[in-house]
Amino acid sequence: MIKASAISHPNIAFSKYWGMANEKLTLPETDSISMTLSRIFTHTTVGFSNKYSQDEVEIRNESGLSGNVIHQVDQRVVKQLDRLRKLANTQKKAKVVSINNFPADAGIASSASAFSALTVAGVAALKLRMSKKELSILTRLAGSGSATRSIHGGFVLWKKGESSTESYATQIYGAKHWDLVDIILVVSATRKRKTSLQGHQLATSSPLRRNRIEATTKNNTRLLAALKNKDLKLLGNTIENEMFLLHAVAMSSAPPLLYWSGDTVEIIHEVWELRKRGVECYITLDAGPNPHIITTSKHAKEIESHFASWSMVKKRYICPVGRGAFLTDNHLF
Interface characters, 102-141, with ligand PMV (x: CB under 6 A): -------x-xx-----------------------------
Regarding 19 and contact with ligand PMV (CB under 6 A), the answer is: no
Question: How long is the chain?
Answer: 333
**291 touches ligand PMV by CB under 6 A:** no
Q: Distance (Å, rounded) from C-alpha 294 to C-alpha 272? A: 12
Task: Collect all residues with Cβ–Cβ distance below 8 Å to 229 and sequence separation of at least 6.
Answer: none
When binding is defined by CB under 6 A, the residue of 17, 168, 178, 282 that contacts ligand PMV is 17
Report the alpha-carbon distance of residue 48 to residue 52 in Å, rounded. Answer: 8
Describe the strand order of the beta sheet including 155-158 as a list of residue ranges.
Answer: 11-13, 32-36, 155-158, 169-173
With contacts defined by CB under 6 A, name the span among 13-21, 76-84, 304-312, 323-331 that binds ligand PMV.
Answer: 13-21
Indicate whether 80 belongs to the interface with ligand PMV (CB under 6 A): no
Helices (H), the chain: 72-88, 110-125, 132-141, 196-202, 209-229, 232-251, 262-276, 297-308
Considering the complex, state which of residue 16 and residue 85 has its C-beta at the smaller distance from ligand PMV: 16
In the complex, minimum distance from the CB of residue 57 to ligand PMV, in angstroms, rounded to a whole number: 18
Stretch that binds ligand PMV, among 56-64, 143-151, 178-186, 231-239 (CB under 6 A): 143-151
Name which position in 144, 167, 188, 295 contacts ligand PMV (CB under 6 A).
Answer: 144
Least distance to ligand PMV, CB of residue 238, Å: 14
286 touches ligand PMV by CB under 6 A: yes
For residue 16, state whether it binds ligand PMV (rule: CB under 6 A): yes
Per CB under 6 A, does 220 bind ligand PMV? no
Residue from 44, 116, 146, 167 in contact with ligand PMV (CB under 6 A): 146
Shortest Å distance, C-beta 96 to ligand PMV: 18
Specify the residue, 175 or 246, whose C-beta has the smaller distance to ligand PMV: 246
In b/e form, how buried is each residue of 32-68, taking b as 16+ CB within 10 angstroms? Answer: bbbbbbbebbbbbbbbbeeeeeebebbbbbeeeebee
Q: Which one of 32, 61, 80, 290 is in contact with ligand PMV (CB under 6 A)?
A: 32
Q: Which residues contact 5 (CB under 8 A, 6 or more apart)?
A: 43, 44, 45, 46, 121, 327, 328, 329, 330, 331, 332
Q: Which residue from 13, 226, 245, 319 is in contact with ligand PMV, where contact means CB under 6 A?
A: 13
CA 86: distance to chain centroid? 26
Q: Given the complex with ligand PMV, which of 47 and 236 has the nearer CB atom?
A: 236
d(CA 261, CA 286): 13
Least separation in angstroms between CB 150 and ligand PMV: 10
Please work out, in degrees rounded to the nearest 5, the angle formed at the alpha carbon of residue 184 by the alpha carbons of 219 and 77.
85
Are the beta carbons of 6 and 325 closer than 8 angstroms?
yes
The residue among 16 and 222 lying less far from ligand PMV, judged by its C-beta, is 16
Query: Three-state SS across 244-286?
Result: HHHHHHHHCCCCCCCCCCHHHHHHHHHHHHHHHCCCCCEEECC
Measured in degrees and rounded to the nearest 5, phi and psi for residue 321 equal: -65, 140
Stretch that binds ligand PMV, among 12-20, 182-190, 228-236, 301-309 (CB under 6 A): 12-20
Shortest CB 196 distance to ligand PMV, Å: 4
Cβ 92 to ligand PMV shortest distance, Å = 28
DSSP one-letter code for 116: H
**What is the contact surface with ligand PMV in residues (CB under 6 A)?**
13, 16-17, 32, 109, 111-112, 144-146, 196-197, 286-287
